[in-house]
Amino acid sequence: MTGLRRHLRPDGRLALHLFDPRFDLLADENPPAIRQSGIDPATQRRYTGEILRTGRDYLNQIRRDLWRYAETDLNGSLFEEATREMALRWTYRWELRHLLELCGFVVEAEYSDFHGALPAYGKELIVVARRETNLRKRASGGRLRARSAPAGPP
């Protein structure tokens, strides 16, 4: 996050689109089989992708899926097949907000879709944050932190 901050202009904004994880999907040791497919209109070849294995590292908040991808011709004969592991780290809304603030951002807006809906559990996690320009180094660890505004009259 601090690397992102360094690349922004002083008045720059950061927009992040993540997902808000659902506990039921993270905890399920036997998730439903996922298989996706589509046909390339130019070649008429069918492409399929399916999850063969899922593993979770709850401490580091990482899900690892082993996917098999296949390409078949019009007759269903296998043209090409490959497997790939994908790692996905999940981040909770409160955690993202905290990390942004620690790295010198001020969260301006949070949404759960691209139509401006208020944050909601298990939906999209969309955050707009502004680079804070008034920072000082924290004594412990040298991390950036926004200065507190001076107290004024009520």
pLDDT tens-place string over residues 29-84: 777 778 999 999 999 999 999 999 989 999 999 999 999 999 999 888 999 999 99
Domains of the chain: 2-21+91-146 (no CATH), 30-89 (2.20.25)
Backbone angles phi, psi at 103, to 5 degrees: -95, 10
- The torsion region of residue 44 among left (phi > 0), alpha (psi -120 to 50) and beta comes to left
- 153 pLDDT band, cuts 50/70/90, is very low
106-130 residue pLDDT tens = 999 999 999 999 999 999 999 999 9
Q: What pLDDT score does 1 carry? A: 81
What would the mean pLDDT of 5-22 be, rounded to a whole number?
90
